[in-house]
A and B are shown apart, each in its own frame.
Chain A
């Protein structure tokens, strides 16, 4: 697909609707039966469009809310590479949607833990400045935002075995005043102090200052109690006032990424991969590129696989770089094979802070 505002938008919407439907359909009967609400940021860049698509897929008799206000208009004087701008929203719009009776809440860009914070604000009726309670909810959201990554996913190593690793059970967070309890009612995996500690610090900067649109979470006094039976209790999350600014992401078209790989097999494979690297460096001199050589074995036979990556503004240059790897079939060292090529358009994101006062407030719309 060529980058371009219209194409990106429409194809994104169809993909987003398909994604949302694939998540909701399998569990929709159960959710309706037990009055379980669904909250997700699968609205992508068009929460209303996704909400409408979801409503149609579910047959219409469903209360769906779209939370918008994350998208920031592109000004006429901005450069033409800018394709989208959005801020990270907090949980308040989600809480409002739930108050309106939404069974499904579809959002665009929302800080990951805020998906949980919205539910807690609604359920516990939290005040907007109840910082410790918001911090506790944010802690819960942070711990379960990657699902099974807290119940044995992304954890296994020689000295850290994970039982039934192919069937990890999802976590459940029970949020009460000043504490979060994590359990794993079904499935394989493991939930203990170690898995929780790793996920706690995942994608964290200063642990005293974890900022979301809802609150500033301080983890430094946190205590983790593991009962040894798969129940982990966290206490001591502290909250400070939410930041006055929000994080704005500007997405830009940024040219092309070309990747191509080739394999060499046998005792001198590493040497021949090195020769291939020398050839590519000579022929692609001056390009913004990286060559990695993976040395190892395949089925016990020595093997080296070379990977070339090139970033460029020009599609023809990207194509040419990939073709140089393919040309190693004819012009490179002996016995090369298994060439794979991949060309992708690139979108970069720049993050900066903008004052809340400069932004429109979040909006909640029930999709009829």
Chain B
């Protein structure tokens, strides 16, 4: 297995109680592999401990990127949350540290 972070980078943002996390392939060649394994179901498993609501994955093929929109995951959002990180800005690392299979022929 390999962490998503080894193939991609990304950033988290928040709007109310909704979190978004981008996943952007470092190399275009890895994008198809990321698309296959970093799915909405994968994301739901990663955020299960945070009682995430509905998750939508948007794909931007021209940018070798995807955007996960995760609803109701921020304990009410920046003005209400009991977490130290009230925005949920650090949560990008949950997805980036999650594990997926190693791409075929990868030198990692």
The answer to the question of A347 belonging to the interface, with a C-beta cut-off of 8 Å to chain B, is: yes
Closest partner residue, chain A, to B62 (CB atom): A223
Given contacts A194-B9, A254-B80, contact A203 B14 (CB under 8 A): yes
The answer to the question of A99 belonging to the interface, with a C-beta cut-off of 8 Å to chain B, is: no
Given contacts A254-B80, A290-B82, A292-B83, contact A198 B10 (CB under 8 A): yes
Interface centre among A159, A197, A290 (most CB of B within 10 A): A197
B63 to chain A, nearest CB (A): 6
CB atoms of B11 and A198 under 8 A apart: yes
| 0/1 interface trace, chain B 84-101, chain A, CB 8 Å (1 if under) | 100000000000000000
The answer to the question of B58 belonging to the interface, with a C-beta cut-off of 8 Å to chain A, is: yes
Interface centre among B15, B56, B65 (most CB of A within 10 A): B65
B residues neighboring A (CB under 8 Å): 5, 9-11, 13-16, 18, 20, 22, 24, 26, 56, 58, 60, 62-63, 65, 67, 69, 75-76, 79-80, 82-84
CA of A351 to CA of B15, assembled, Å = 10
Given contacts A201-B20, A205-B18, A207-B60, contact A160 B9 (CB under 8 A): yes
8 Å CB contacts to B: which residues of A303-331? 307, 309-311
Question: Looking at the complex, which one of A198, A204, A222 makes contact with B62 (CB distance below 8 Å)?
Answer: A222
CB atoms of A198 and B24 under 8 A apart: yes
CB-defined contacts of A203 to chain B, threshold 8 Å: 13-15, 20
CA of A12 to CA of B101, assembled, Å = 52
CB-defined contacts of A154 to chain B, threshold 8 Å: 11
Name 20 A/B residue pairs within 8 A (Cβ), A-sorted: A154-B11, A194-B9, A194-B26, A197-B22, A197-B24, A199-B11, A200-B63, A201-B22, A201-B60, A202-B11, A202-B20, A205-B20, A205-B69, A206-B58, A220-B60, A222-B60, A288-B82, A292-B83, A309-B82, A346-B80
CB atoms of A346 and B79 under 8 A apart: yes
CA of A194 to CA of B28, assembled, Å = 12
**Can you add 16 more A-B contacts, CB < 8 Å, to A202-B22, A222-B60?**
A159-B5, A194-B26, A198-B10, A199-B11, A202-B11, A203-B13, A203-B15, A204-B20, A206-B56, A207-B67, A220-B62, A223-B62, A257-B82, A292-B83, A307-B84, A311-B80
CB atoms of B82 and A221 under 8 A apart: no
The answer to the question of A348 belonging to the interface, with a C-beta cut-off of 8 Å to chain B, is: yes
Closest partner residue, chain A, to B25 (CB atom): A197
Closest partner residue, chain B, to A224 (CB atom): B63
The answer to the question of A173 belonging to the interface, with a C-beta cut-off of 8 Å to chain B, is: no
8 Å CB contacts to B: which residues of A186-221? 194, 197-208, 219-221
8 Å CB contacts to B: which residues of A99-156? 154-155
CA of A355 to CA of B14, assembled, Å = 24
Closest partner residue, chain B, to A252 (CB atom): B79
CB atoms of A197 and B63 under 8 A apart: yes
The answer to the question of A157 belonging to the interface, with a C-beta cut-off of 8 Å to chain B, is: yes
The answer to the question of A289 belonging to the interface, with a C-beta cut-off of 8 Å to chain B, is: yes
The answer to the question of A10 belonging to the interface, with a C-beta cut-off of 8 Å to chain B, is: no
The answer to the question of A349 belonging to the interface, with a C-beta cut-off of 8 Å to chain B, is: yes
CA of A236 to CA of B63, assembled, Å = 12
CB atoms of A205 and B15 under 8 A apart: yes
CA of A130 to CA of B1, assembled, Å = 49
CB atoms of B84 and A292 under 8 A apart: yes
CB atoms of A202 and B13 under 8 A apart: yes
Given contacts A194-B24, A307-B84, contact A219 B18 (CB under 8 A): no
CB atoms of B22 and A348 under 8 A apart: no
Question: Looking at the complex, which one of B11, B56, B67, B83 makes contact with A290 (CB distance below 8 Å)?
Answer: B83
B12 to chain A, nearest CB (A): 8
Question: Looking at the complex, which one of A160, A222, A349 makes contact with B63 (CB distance below 8 Å)?
Answer: A222
